């Protein structure tokens, strides 16, 4: 079982060995492989297996799926052997719990936040998911889920039940990640487009800058001092 208590930095949407190694060398704790065909970060199973073998033993491997059924999830787990499943679709709490049973792995459920009322939805998943990934809601005309590089109002999380473990996503980048961590005190952070030079194209320098800033901010909170 992955360590759910340590602060985790996740680089999601990696698709090449070069950028994956850059993330590992910079100290990423988790790497995300995106299986949603409409995403510019989509990887085939064959490419994902190649990337997973590079990362195995150095970082936790997260498989991002959108509205899959239990059979599909179980087959992916058998082939890829990831450490986590990340559900980024419209999965209900019941479906989330079922996917956890089917895959036999911890599950991270992504939920969009745009207003205080969304926190009630978060609470309904606390027993179904091992972690919640709080993201910005996508634009109404978006072709795929996720925050699309936009942050949400982090102040909304002041009313979130402190007993709910969550990671923060949505519009994070090297310039704002320290502030995001200071405001929200998450158990981890997740970035994709914020470390890219173009949609789906990861930038090794931005990855390193992001991880360094996040690590410094998290360490400052643990010590009880400003970053």
Cα separation values, 186 from 78, 133, 157, Å: 31, 10, 10
Pair 151, 186: CB distance under 8 Å = no
- DSSP secondary structure of 152-192: --GGGGGGS-TTS-EEE-SS--TTTHHHHHHHH--SEEEES
Choosing from 29, 83, 135, 190, the catalytic residue is 135
For residue 173, indicate whether it is catalytic.
Answer: no
Residue of 12, 83, 173, 190 marked active site = 12
Residues 165/132, Cβ–Cβ less than 8 Å: yes
Q: Which of 9, 30, 5 is nearest to 20 (CA)?
A: 30
**159 has catalytic annotation:** no
Supply the residues annotated as catalytic. Answer: 12, 135
């Amino acid at each position: 079982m992955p360590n759910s208590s340590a602060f985790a930095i996740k680089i999601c949407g990696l698709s090449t060995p070069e950028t994956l190694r850059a993330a590992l060398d910079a100290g990423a704790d988790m790497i995300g492989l995106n299986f949603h065909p409409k995403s510019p970060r989509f990887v085939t199973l064959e490419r994902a297996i190649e990337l997973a073998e590079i990362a195995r033993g150095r970082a936790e491997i997260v498989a991002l799926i959108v509205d899959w059924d239990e059979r599909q999830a179980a087959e992916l787990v058998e082939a890829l052997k990831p450490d986590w499943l990340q559900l980024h679709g419209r999965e209900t709490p019941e479906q989330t719990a079922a996917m956890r049973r089917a895959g036999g792995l911890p599950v991270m459920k992504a939920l969009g936040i745009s207003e205080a009322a969304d926190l009630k939805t978060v609470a309904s998943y606390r027993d179904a998911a091992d972690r919640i990934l709080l993201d910005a809601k996508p634009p109404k005309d978006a072709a795929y889920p996720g925050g699309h590089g936009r942050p949400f109002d982090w102040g909304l999380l002041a009313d979130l039940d402190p007993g709910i473990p969550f990671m923060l996503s949505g519009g994070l980048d090297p310039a704002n990640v320290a502030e995001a961590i200071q405001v929200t005190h998450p158990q981890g952070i997740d970035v994709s487009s914020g470390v890219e030079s173009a949609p789906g194209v990861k930038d090794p320098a931005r990855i390193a800058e992001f991880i360094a800033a996040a690590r410094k901010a998290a360490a400052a909170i643990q010590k009880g001092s400003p970053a």
